[in-house]
Each structure stands twice: as C-alpha cells, then as structure tokens.
Amino acid sequence: MVPAPRGRDLWERRIDRAAQLAAQDESTRPLLVFYGQLLGVQRDGYETFRVARLSGSLETDLEVVRRCASATLSAVSAIGPRLLTDETQQILSAGDSAIDQMLLEWWRTPSDEQFFPKVIVQPYAQRLAELSIRPADRETPSGEHVCPFCGGAPQLSILQGGGDLEGGGRMLLCATCFTSWPFRRVRCAHCGEEDEHRLCYFHSPAFDHLRVDACDTCNRYLKTVDLTRLGVAVPLVDEVAGAPLDVWARERGYEKIELNLVGL
C-alpha cells in the first residue's frame, strides 16, 4: 500500500491536480489556475511552519505566522484580481498590529467570508494537526458535525471504499486544518437531520465523481467527492472544480456549510 501523502507532498499533489483539471476544462480553467497559484502560496507558507517551533497558541506563534502573512499577502497581490490586490495593499499598509488583529479575530471566530486570514492560517492549522498540537486559544465546539481536532466546519464530504454499513466509508474534511473524520452517510453534516426524505442529492454526468448533498431542514449543502468512482481525485481541489454544482445548489435556495477558498 502506498502511504497517503503528507506535508509538502500533500501540497504538491494539490497543486498538480489543479493544473491537471485546469487543462481539462476550459470553463473552469481561470478558477483552477488561480486556485493552483493560491495553493503554491500556501505551500510556501507551510514550509515556514514546518521548520518552526509551534505552540498551538496563535497569539504565542504570531511572530512566525506574521512573517508568513506578509509573504502571503505580497504573493496574493501579485497573482490576484484587482479587488484582492487593492485589499491586500490596504492590509499591508495598516501595519503588523492590524495584521495580528485580523488573524487573531479570525482564529477565535472564523468566518468563511474572510479570505485573507483563511489563506494564511490554513497551512498553520494543517501543521498543528500533523504535530497533534491542539489549538490552545481557539474555541473548539464538540459534536459529530465539526472537526474533532480544531472544531472547524466541514469543507466537503468524501466517499471511499470500506467502512461499516452505517457509515459506508463517508468522511468529512475540515475546512481549517484538513483533518478528516468519519460521519454517517445518511445524515446532514450541518444540522444532523437523518430523515432521508429531508435529504436530497444532485449528480451531473459532467462530474461523475462529485455530487451535492443538501438538506431541506436547514437548507445547507456540501459537495461530496466519491473516490470509489475516481480514485485519483484530490478532494480539496476536485471540490473547487465542481463549481457548476454550487450554482445548481444556490439557484435552489441552499447555502453552503462552508465556502471554499475561492468563495464558492
């Protein structure tokens, strides 16, 4: 058995997959090219955290995180669209104290609508998870629908071979630290609804290994990546490539549990 990629290898696999999918689909190419560039920026940030001594307290680790933040902001300014570039310059001109405040506020009360702290902190959180250093200054709610490591919301769902009959090999992937954990197959990943008549699914032949899992009780949804249909998929990247499925869900009044890094 080939071991699952970790650390830098995992970032490289994500970047390679984004490039591969961008070459296959003209309609989503600009989105995937930009996302691939973001992944490269995050990989470089991860390298900073990989060689640093981290405590798990963002406030304590601010010196190293701030160094990564400055580099990330400068890189995003070079690759991003005009709106992001303008916002980046505003953040950089505000100084280190403003950057610190932005990061700490997001860490303590995360929002999927705040792009910059998320793009900076995700590699930090992934490294903490790899080291099994639990966040020390972040509220971590408990429950099956949140990440057991950092309390983050699920970004997506993964179906894979094996698993018990109830779970069916279903996992949720954290939007913050990328930890995955088992979750029952017939259950809403937001409100816990289990009535199959309140749960609906949408699948398009254009994305054979992707589907939308939506709930009519809370009107939330997430996308599922089925690795039994396409084992080479990289869930975090393939989820972005399935952007047209988000359009389908939103047109029907569903709200995503957690927006991905490109705001979909």
Place of tokens 């927006």: 259
DSSP designation for 179: -
Nearest Cα residue to 264 out of 14, 88, 31, 23: 31
Average pLDDT of the chain, as a whole number = 93
Please count the CA atoms within 13 angstroms of the CA of 18 that sit on its side-chain side. 21
Distances (CA, A) of 139 to 69, 96, 130, 152: 22, 24, 19, 10
| C-alpha torsion angle, residues 123, 211, 227, 220 (rounded to 10) | 40
In the chain (264 residues long), the average pLDDT of successive 10-residue segments reads 64 98 95 97 96 96 95 92 90 93 95 95 97 91 92 97 61 97 96 97 95 98 97 98 96 97 94
Summarised one tens digit per residue, pLDDT across range 147-163 is 999 999 999 999 997 65
Would you put residue 224 in left (φ > 0), alpha (ψ -120 to 50) or beta? beta
Summarised one tens digit per residue, pLDDT across range 94-115 is 999 999 999 999 999 999 999 9
